Structure 1
Amino acid sequence: MLNRKFRGGILFLMLILVAGCARINIPSPDNMADAPSPCAAPESILSFFEGIPYRGDGAINRFGDFTLFAQPDTRFEKPGLNCSGFTVAASRYFLKRNFALADMTIDRLADSGVGAADGQDWDFGYDLILNVTQGMERKVMLPYGKTASIKDNDGMSLRGFNLHDRAAWADVISSMRPGNLYLFSMNKPVKFKNYKLLHYHVGVIVPDGRGHIWLCHATTKGGVNKVDIAHPEKLNRVIEANPETDLGPRSILIIETPLCGGLRPAKSTTE
């Protein structure tokens, strides 16, 4: 009896080890060559996506098809991504998880569906970056030693810091470390119908270990593009592209999570 239990326990542990070591397959989109492997160097992952044109609602499903969030049966031969689609697609490689699009659009607090009091999808970007990091070690990045709990907040109360506060940016950037991925959601006060606030834009920030801190996102005019925000003058491009309005300051929420479950990125031999 004891031997049978022992053998059963060994078999169970072996299954866990095999599952933990299983190779994660992230299918490459058609017409795109030289896909990085999961957990590749950050610059390799960003280079793979950089230059993809902008497509409204554009995404890549877990099978490598270019599609739309709202119409997942749609297929496109030519590449195209919006900011959310890029963030999910790149995070598959950064975090070694082949996310399903449906899981990335979950309305976490059931507060932004059809007929929601504050408008439909008002916190879409907030939900998305938390869905991407669900189950992972994560931290809210705030300046000047401030802290915040994700579980005790929502997209209205947890907005991050003022997008136009350059001193706050400098403090947060000084805390960013290679080996981590930083996902962001920009948000702003709005006033149309019953909307009060909108999490309107998402992307990733990743230090590469060589002094660069790349903010990468998909924009309507530039497609997927990156900016080295380690340089204040280049950070200014991001700030100036999101001007303040009379309704109040824009903010940016940044969430830190380890690359590939804590594995450090591979070193690159290129500048």
Structure 2
Amino acid sequence: MNNSNKSLLYKLDPRTKMLMLLGFIIGGVLIQDPIIVLVLLLGVIAIYVKIGLTERLKKLMGTIWIAMILLFLLNFPFVKPKPGEEILLYLIPPDHVPVAISNLAQGIANALRFAFFILVATLLTETTPTADLVRALVKLKMPPEIAISIGIAFSYIPVLVKEFETIIEAQRSRGANFETKNPLKKIYLLIPVIVPAMFISIIRGREIAKVIEARGFMYDPRNRTYRRELKLKMEDKGMIILTFVFVICIAILKSKGYLEYTSTLEYLIRR
């Protein structure tokens, strides 16, 4: 809790943090070079450690690594090497699903980008109360019905991860074994976890809808008042400026042909 009182990230206006999230997403989409994406990912990891969310980070990475492996492997059947590029190997011998530097770099970038997006989005929900998210969206002239839906969706991410972990522990207590080095077998073993997790999510969604209706949110939501009004401070304005500078710099570099999948690697080879 002490970290939350000292960290700038906790003190920022939720609108500022949402704009920063949008800027990171735009930058993550434009940046294709896996080395630069890795640098961004390490930067976000450093923020988790700095503000005292190390345990949360470990749990997240322990959950999303399977999806990262899947994204990496599913890249090769759909992305072909560049014409004339040297083939490193074939995933399906003798000559099916070729792997070259270009699609290998793209597969790594896609996996790292997925982890980057998840960590950044979770960072927003971990440092911003749901009520502040809803209030920020309403301030941005979004319909209150949509605002509360998005706010609940963001806040439900850590709840869903926690329920996923609880189901895994429950299945282990019944004798299930999820320890395997084979990623495909790992996915198959997780089916008894994914199905009840989806079922619980549907039930939880219905309960949330009933609670919202019982508390009278749908009665004139546009004219609701809030105890604390949001105001942009000096640090908010500074972070907004830095976010715009970051996105503009990334867009300029992208337009000049940099930030491609093998840009950094080709530069290092030329050096």
Q: TM-score of the superposition, structure 1-length normalised?
A: 0.25
Higher helix share: 2
Higher strand share: 1
Q: TM-score of the superposition, structure 2-length normalised?
A: 0.25
Q: More relative contact order in 1 or in 2 (CA 8 Å, sep 6+)?
A: 2
